[in-house]
Amino acid sequence: MKLNIAQIKVLNKATSANDKSEVIYVRDYSNILIMVSATSGTNALLKVKGTITDDPVDFLQDPSVENPYAYIVVKDYTTGDMIDGGDGIQVSSGIKIYELNVNSLSYITVDIVSMTFGEVSVTCSASGR
């Protein structure tokens, strides 16, 4: 049986909070992992945003009734810890993998909330359904 798997580089060598990630349609998948890689000395904060709307929202604007999305909980694959979506992922050097709970979500994106040094890349792997 062949699995339905997609890999997308959503951030490629981002160096500031001005670098924006791709918006990814995830409704066709049941399993989403993101791999975050960072150069030595990186200091950044990432948050995953998601929505259940049929059409993409403007993730660059604040969430509202007209622009509904929320920050998504992620699970650290190294420690097993759940990270509150509002707290985000603190990124330093190295590579880490996180699982996203995308039950019934339609679109996600990874936002660099702050970044003071370094370079970050994020790859999304989607499978299932």
Structure confidence by residue, pLDDT tens digits, 6-54: 677 787 888 888 888 889 999 988 889 999 999 999 999 999 999 999 9
Element spanning 12, H or E: strand 5-14
Q: How confident is the model at residue 5, as a pLDDT?
A: 56
Q: Has residue 84 got a pLDDT over 90? A: yes
Domain holding 79, by residue range, is 5-55+64-127
CA nearest to 101, candidates 78, 70, 122: 70
Domains held by the chain: number:
1
Q: What is the mean pLDDT of residues 102-108?
A: 92
Q: How confident is the model at residue 50, as a pLDDT?
A: 96
The CATH number covering residue 27 comes to 2.60.120.380
| Mean model confidence pLDDT for the chain | 90
Please identify which residue in the block is written with the tokens 């694959």.
77
